[in-house]
A and B are shown apart, each in its own frame.
Chain A
Amino acid sequence: AQSVTQLDSQVPVFEEAPVELRCNYSSSVSVYLFWYVQYPNQGLQLLLKYLSGSTLVKGINGFEAEFNKSQTSFHLRKPSVHISDTAEYFCAVSDPNSGNTPLVFGKGTRLSVIA
């Protein structure tokens, strides 16, 4: 079964500084990968996804992620964060070769942007 490891439970960063949120997944022949954001008292919102093609994926709100098959990673990056980026971020994986498999989420990384 697929699994996801988010290496940092909390990441504090100063406003306008760059940030990287790390995500590693269990090895598989092929995967679909996702990053979701959850603002306080709200549901999850899709930031970006990798299904195939270019390994550099651009998402909403200036975020991007790079799929690295050899390192089984899908780290999320933003060159300059804002206070409004403070939220919980979840990495998720699915196996496209196993029929209708559900999304498997990591435990989340809480990003705190400091003014």
Chain B
Amino acid sequence: EAGVAQSPRYKIIEKRQSVAFWCNPISGHATLYWYQQILGQGPKLLIQFQNNGVVDDSQLPKDRFSAERLKGVDSTLKIQPAKLEDSAVYLCASSLWEGVRNEQFFGPGTRLTVL
């Protein structure tokens, strides 16, 4: 079966610019996650969707980050405006259902560099 798809794989922007990332989860997976992985650290959850509803966005910097999953399938994560500290790999993951007993499958990530 096809895995989690993400695009673009790499993005370089200047600070204060906007950027958007796209994720297509595994077919049939109801739960979708966005993680931020800063160099030298483990992934940190930004937002979790169950179908098209938000389950947890407590660690999402809402003044500049937004995410949507309008039809309960693919999702976009946007940063506007970007800061230097947003340089990181943004990972998308999906699972059949919510709850950590369900294995999360990760995409390859989008590496963002903010200059």
Contacts and interface: CB of A to CB of B under 8 A. Distances in A.
Contact of A44 (B40, B91, B101): B91
Q: Which bucket holds chain B's interface residue count? A: 20 to 34
Nearest to B100: A94
Given A51-B101, A103-B100, A43 B42 contact: no
B100 A96 contact: yes
A100 interface: yes
Nearest to A95: B100
Contacts of A101: 100
Interface stretch (A63-71, A76-84, A104-112): A104-112
A102 B48 contact: yes
A4 B43 CA distance: 12
B55 interface: yes
Nearest to B92: A43
A49 B104 CA distance: 12
Given A43-B106, A44-B91, A100-B99, A105 B56 contact: no
A46 B94 CA distance: 13
A42 B56 CA distance: 25
Contacts of B33: 102
A46 to B, nearest CB: 5
Contact of B104 (A4, A46, A51): A46
Contact of A108 (B41, B101, B108): B41
Contacts of B55: 100
Interface in B20-44: 33, 40-44
A45 B105 CA distance: 7
Contact of A90 (B42, B99, B104, B109): B42
A94 B4 CA distance: 23
Contacts of A105: 42-44
Contacts of A94: 100
Interface of B: 4, 33, 40-45, 48, 55-56, 91, 93, 98-101, 103-104, 106-109
Interface of A: 4, 32, 34, 41-46, 49, 51, 90, 92, 94, 96, 100-103, 105-108
